[in-house]
């Protein structure tokens, strides 16, 4: 957090008042409340890595597990979910199965949950597959070029 405080101090000294934070996996923030010292809480929350969730439970995972835990750990802080998504390939993780239909299901489910609770900003992860990453799960979170954004992921809830 020292770097966040340094950046915030420097920006303030030159008249910039933009919020400053850092991003961590949500359990790291929950377990280390010192990370709540930034101007807002930025957390990555992927239901796939929980292992006990299916793609259709992604919205509930974020809004009924992650967000309440972060709000309890960091009272009064704005919560931003900076990454949430689902891989389309790679190995299973318990109940979590990577596939294109599951990726679409997870993103639609997350989108519907966001519609129901607008107090938290959630960013879908990520634009396209990242082939440079270490394994198929990590490489395959891309949305564009695989999923029908207008008729699938953003369908009516």
Q: Which residues participate in catalysis according to the annotation?
A: 83
Query: Which strands form 121-124's sheet, in the order they lie side by side?
Result: 23-25, 41-44, 79-84, 121-124
Q: What is the DSSP track for the chain?
A: -HHHHHHHHHHHHTT-------EEEHHHHHH-GGGGGSSSEEEE--HHHHSS--GGGHHHIIIIIIHHHHHHHSTT--EEEEEE---SSS--BTTB---HHHHHHHHHHHHHHHHH-TTSEEEES-SS--TTSSSHHHHT---TTTS-IIIIIT---
């Amino acid at each position: 957090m020292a770097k966040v405080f340094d950046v915030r101090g420097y920006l303030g000294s030159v008249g910039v008042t933009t919020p400053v934070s850092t991003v961590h996996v949500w359990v790291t923030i929950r377990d280390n409340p010192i990370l709540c010292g930034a101007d807002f809480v930025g957390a990555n929350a992927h239901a796939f890595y929980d292992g006990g969730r299916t793609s259709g439970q992604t919205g509930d995972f974020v809004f009924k597990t992650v967000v309440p835990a972060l709000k309890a750990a960091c009272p009064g802080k704005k919560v931003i979910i900076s990454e949430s998504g689902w891989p389309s390939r790679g190995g299973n993780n318990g109940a979590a199965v990577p596939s294109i239909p599951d990726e679409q299901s997870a993103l639609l489910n997350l989108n519907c949950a966001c519609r129901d609770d607008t107090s938290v900003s959630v960013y879908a992860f990520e634009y396209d597959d990242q082939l440079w990453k270490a394994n198929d799960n990590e490489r395959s979170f891309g949305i564009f070029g695989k999923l029908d954004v207008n008729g699938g992921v953003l369908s009516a809830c």
